[in-house]
Structure 1
Amino acid sequence: MEIHVIRHTAVENPENLCYGFSDIPLRNDFCKDFNELIIDNHFDHVFSSPSGRCTLLAEHFKFNYKTDERLREMNFGDWEMKKWTDIPKEEINPWYEDFVQIKATGGENLLEMQNRVLNFWNELTSETNANKVLIITHGGVIRLILQFILQFPLENIFKIQIDYGKKMVIEFNEGHFSVKKVNV
């Protein structure tokens, strides 16, 4: 199976807000961004995060797609839509020191997010009988998929740059993964 995983295009966030689950809009000229994307149009299955910044992309390309909650970005709970600089230091500093275990009030930590993303991923790779699949999602989800395949330490996840509107291609064959392309 060939699995294409694309990150939504750039968002409108001039205030540098913390967002994950929140439905922050794409930047104003998102149609231009969409027109620059190179996406095949023949997939056996297309899955999308239910976030508008992902479903808008699926709709633009007229894909017949299914949304899946497990493909959402991290839930930052009470921090959602606050400026990063407005989050109290006594809350955010512990998270900066251990974002794998620590979570925002009302949110999730990286281990919880990893659990839901891998639940989707394992279901996809064990139950889906398809030759070619597209997943439209977020940078955090893509990093977790790469971390699972490449088995590097979870605390190194943000060392990987996942560009807006770019995809990675993964080959899955007889239980083995091969990362073919990243940020194309």
Structure 2
Amino acid sequence: MEIHLIRHTAVENPDHLCYGFAEMPLRKDFEEDLRAVQMDKDFDVIISSPSQRCQLLAKYFRLNYETDERIREMNFGDWELKKWSEIPEEEINPWYEDFITIKAKNGENLLEMQTRVCEFWNELISKENIDKVLVVTHAGVIRLILQSVLKFPLENMFNIQIDYGKRTVIDLRKGLVSIRNINL
């Protein structure tokens, strides 16, 4: 199975707002960004995050896709759409110290996100008679999939740069995993 993971194109966020689950518009020149995306064809299955920033990419390429809640970005709860600089220090500092287990009020932590993403991933790779898959999603989801596949420590996931509008390609053949490309 050949799995293409693509991150949505760049968002418009001049105020440096915290966002994950929240809808964040694509940048004003998003159509130019979409034209620059290099997209393969002939996917057997196409799955998108329900976030509009992901669905716009799938719609631009006129892809027949389904959505899956499990591949949304992290839920930052009460921090969503607040400026990072305006989140109270007594809330944000513990998260900076331990972003794996600490979460924003009414949000989720990285372990909870990892659980839902891995559930999605394990279900996807267990499907039979599928040769080529496209997943339109977010940087956090792609990093968690790479972390699951490569089995590196969770705290190192931000060491991988996942660019807007770029694909990561993973091959799964006879139990062997190959990361063919990152940011293609």
TM-score using structure 2 length: 0.99
Please tell me the root mean square deviation across aligned C-alpha atoms, in Å.
0.7
Separation (CA, whole Å) in 2 of partners of 1:102 and 1:59: 35
Separation (CA, whole Å) in 1 of partners of 2:82 and 2:163: 23
- Secondary structure of 1:169's match? strand
Amino acid at match of 2:144: L
Separation (CA, whole Å) in 1 of partners of 2:172 and 2:53: 27
Residue 162, structure 1, aligned to residue 162, structure 2: yes
Equivalent positions of 1:20-35 (< 5 A) are 20-35=20-35
Residue 73, structure 1, aligned to residue 73, structure 2: yes
| Aligned-pair CA distance for 1:175 | 2.2
- Secondary structure of 2:177's match? strand
TM-score using structure 1 length: 0.99
Equivalent positions of 1:31-70 (< 5 A) are 31-70=31-70
Separation (CA, whole Å) in 2 of partners of 1:2 and 1:42: 12
- Secondary structure of 2:126's match? helix
| Aligned-pair CA distance for 1:9 | 0.3
Q: Any unmatched runs of 5+ in structure 2? A: none
| Aligned-pair CA distance for 1:159 | 1.1
Match of 1:134 in 2: 134
Amino acid at match of 1:48: S
| Aligned-pair CA distance for 1:77 | 0.1
Residue 182, structure 1, aligned to residue 182, structure 2: yes
Q: Any unmatched runs of 5+ in structure 1? A: none
Separation (CA, whole Å) in 2 of partners of 1:128 and 1:139: 26
| Aligned-pair CA distance for 1:128 | 4.5
Separation (CA, whole Å) in 2 of partners of 1:128 and 1:76: 35
